[in-house]
Structure 1
Amino acid sequence: MALSPSDATGPRSTDTRYYDGRSAAAHAATLRWSDAFLAIDGAAGELALWPRARLIVGEPDPQGRVVLSCKGEPGRVSTEAAALPGQMTAPRMQRRQYLGWMAVGAVALVLALVLVERLPAVGAALVPRSVENQLGEMVEVVVVGKHNVCRGGEGQRALEQLEARLAHAAGIAQPVRLVVIDSKVVNAVTLPGARMVVMRGLIEQVGSADQLAGVMAHETGHIARRDPLVALFRGAGIGVISATVGINLGFADVSSLAGRLVSLSYSRDMERLADANGVAYLQASGLRSDGLAGFFARTDKRGGNAGAAVEFLSDHPRTIDREKQNQGSPLGESALTAQQWAAVRTMCGKQ
């Protein structure tokens, strides 16, 4: 049965040789493909007609040639791989291509994961300081809420002076706004725009001014790296970028954004880095740097009752580990004088 011109895709002009299986002679041939058959033509006419469903395609050799055979037929064809229709690929070639695409996909996935991991920090770095300051102002309103702001003059000045030393050591250009609120929660939080909120519960929980300074130095580490913004981008997703930029344009729901930030926590790596940097800031300021470890030890000794209220530690690495990793040094001056510490302790009218 011969193929008519209308049945075939046309001859492929390549270096193709046909072996009939009865002798070692090679016959110059051309291949004509149809949907159902492969016709092998020689100089004197059709040499063979093979059903495509029974074709076997071998692996290409280093010169890019492949061998075709047909189940139940003695002959074989040697031709260039380029002469085959696109779908006529050796199974192992298909597998290699599949594995190749899998490898490409795996690399793309790894790159995507790296990008997702780093994108929050990149996004935070792109936010203008003016926008960050506006966001911080809104978040502060949410954090303070109905709590009274403690305005003890001498205590406030003492904390501001201490924080100014820490911020200078951290290389923070703008002044850090520090607010003490009358809340029993044992915590201190950093907000966008170089803002720190210290709660009465923390002041009452720490055993000394140096322990409070250790916590403040830790929070200063978050401010220096703009961690509040990074946490916002990580927790709220990329969609927050447009909302954040929208602050400048006047159409973003900043209050909703602020509430979302308040509920976020830092990653353990961010916390560990803030611990280490905090100790370094204290040392660079000429202050005792063992206060943070002392605070962790004090909290551990107080056990369950104290621990339940210590929100500062709720999402952080274990205190015993942090104490070991951030011992600091007792060398250096105390963070506050006895008079200043007494003023801080009574800022909220309680002692």
Structure 2
Amino acid sequence: METASAEARADRTRYYDGLSAAAHAATLRWRDEALSIDRVDGGEGGGRELAVWPLARLSIGEIDPDGRVALSCKGQPGRVSMDAAALPPRIAARIATPRTRRRQYLGWTLVGVVSLGLAFALVVRLPAVAATLVPRSVENHLGEMVETVVVNQHRVCVNADGQRALEQLEARLAGAAGIAQPIRLVVIDSKTVNAVTLPGARMVIMRGLLQEVDSADQLAGVMAHETGHIARRDPVVALIRGAGISLVSTTLGINLGIADVSSLAGQLVNLSYSRDMERLADANGVAYLQASGLRSDGLAGFFALTSRKHGNAGSTVEFLSDHPRIADREKRSQGSPLGESALTPKQWAAVRGMCGKP
């Protein structure tokens, strides 16, 4: 243990408590694990302990031209100004010289460049892998912004009974998909025949879809399909594929002048999934319906319905645009009529009337 014999000279050592501008003459006692700062004022209360700082959290600044150095403790207010020459050798050895600091800066710069290069390689080569590197907090923030972009353009349809019915149905599907995060579900008053998934486990259903489907089971088929996208984090994968460099740079806190997060929101609204993503979401959707104990032929029924109404191209149905051919999807999505109906007649009526236009 280093005792008072290793004390810094009180006439040159000053302690600032961080609460006022007052400077206190101080004596420093260096112990094995901590630094004790004692007040030296020559009057009553002299020698009173002002602070105890663990050496593991001690931070040491550079030596100034006057040969003085500043000490501070991470997580505690206050600082000490003292002669660098009064530091014990084991503490003085921790002072970084300008040359050492340059090496540290170069080292961290190299680490940053390599990390960014690896991230870009993942974005270009393996979007699905890169998506797993996006923190959930970032994904949730993106989802919140994109939802604002989508929802602010339309009226949100509010109906307690209909909303509750949809949320209960989606909870069953999410449970079958093994999704732990609660899924946020919003219905908007848009004539577009579509339902979209957003980052952060969010789903937006449009009035046009509610009016297009013939039954609750067809709606459940579409919702199960969208749940498949959420389970595999497809919105983030698609975003990285379409705007990956911007996303990675923003996630790492680097402004490359390419795009910021707010511009990514507008891009995500217009993203489309790959055909492989769509095929997998169709197959998984049917599986989720079956695992939920629901009849699983609703998605194929929806494809058959839209094919009859709009032809195989389905050009007026946004849910089907840029996707595999409707006839092919119908064949691959054949489920079973066995199982519960997705909603009761009363629940289905509430859902159909959510936007006031049943």
Secondary structure in 1 matching 2:340:
coil
Confirm whether residue 223 of structure 1 aligns to residue 240 of structure 2.
Answer: no
Amino acid at match of 1:272: R
Confirm whether residue 203 of structure 1 aligns to residue 210 of structure 2.
Answer: yes
Structure-2 separation of matches of 1:253 and 1:160: 33
Q: Which of 236, 243, 267 is equivalent to 2:274?
A: 267
Partner of residue 191, structure 1: 198
Structure-2 separation of matches of 1:117 and 1:295: 35
Confirm whether residue 170 of structure 1 aligns to residue 170 of structure 2.
Answer: no
User: Shift in Å at residue 143 of structure 1?
Assistant: 1.2
Answer yes or no: is the 8 Å Cα contact 2:310–2:316 preserved in 1: no
Amino acid at match of 1:262: V
- Residue 222 and residue 118 in structure 1: after superposition, are their counterparts in 2 closer, same or farther (change >3 A)? farther
Structure-1 separation of matches of 2:216 and 2:293: 15
Q: Which of 202, 212, 233 is equivalent to 2:219?
A: 212
User: Shift in Å at residue 238 of structure 1?
Assistant: 2.7
Q: Which of 299, 309, 327 is equivalent to 1:292?
A: 299
Structure-2 separation of matches of 1:306 and 1:273: 20
Structure-1 separation of matches of 2:178 and 2:232: 10
User: Shift in Å at residue 117 of structure 1?
Assistant: 6.5
User: Shift in Å at residue 121 of structure 1?
Assistant: 0.9
User: What are the Cα deviations for residues 122-166 of structure 1, in whole angstroms up to 9, with x where unaligned?
Assistant: 111011111111110000011113200001110000000000000
Count residues with an aligned counterpart.
Answer: 235
Structure-1 separation of matches of 2:164 and 2:124: 39
Structure-2 separation of matches of 1:122 and 1:238: 14
Structure-1 separation of matches of 2:276 and 2:313: 25
Amino acid at match of 2:316: A
Answer yes or no: is the 8 Å Cα contact 1:219–1:274 preserved in 2: yes
Answer yes or no: is the 8 Å Cα contact 1:288–1:332 preserved in 2: yes
Answer yes or no: is the 8 Å Cα contact 1:188–1:196 preserved in 2: yes
Answer yes or no: is the 8 Å Cα contact 2:122–2:129 preserved in 1: no
Confirm whether residue 240 of structure 1 aligns to residue 247 of structure 2.
Answer: yes
TM norm structure 2 = 0.63
Answer yes or no: is the 8 Å Cα contact 1:171–1:224 preserved in 2: yes
Structure-2 separation of matches of 1:176 and 1:144: 16
TM norm structure 1 = 0.64
Aligned-CA RMSD value: 2.1
Query: Between Structure 1 and Structure 2, whose CA radius of gyration is higher?
Result: 1
Q: Which of 316, 327, 331 is equivalent to 1:324?
A: 331
Answer yes or no: is the 8 Å Cα contact 1:212–1:291 preserved in 2: yes
User: Shift in Å at residue 303 of structure 1?
Assistant: 2.3
Structure-2 separation of matches of 1:303 and 1:183: 19
Structure-2 separation of matches of 1:237 and 1:161: 34
User: Shift in Å at residue 224 of structure 1?
Assistant: 0.3
Q: How do 1:1-351 and structure 2 match up within 5 A? A: 118-246=125-253, 253-304=260-311, 307-351=314-358
Provide structure 1 residue ranges, at least 5 long, that are not aligned to the other structure. Answer: 1-113
Answer yes or no: is the 8 Å Cα contact 2:193–2:319 preserved in 1: yes
- Residue 301 and residue 259 in structure 1: after superposition, are their counterparts in 2 closer, same or farther (change >3 A)? same
Partner of residue 33, structure 1: none
- Residue 304 and residue 256 in structure 1: after superposition, are their counterparts in 2 closer, same or farther (change >3 A)? same
Secondary structure in 2 matching 1:309:
coil
Answer yes or no: is the 8 Å Cα contact 1:131–1:245 preserved in 2: no
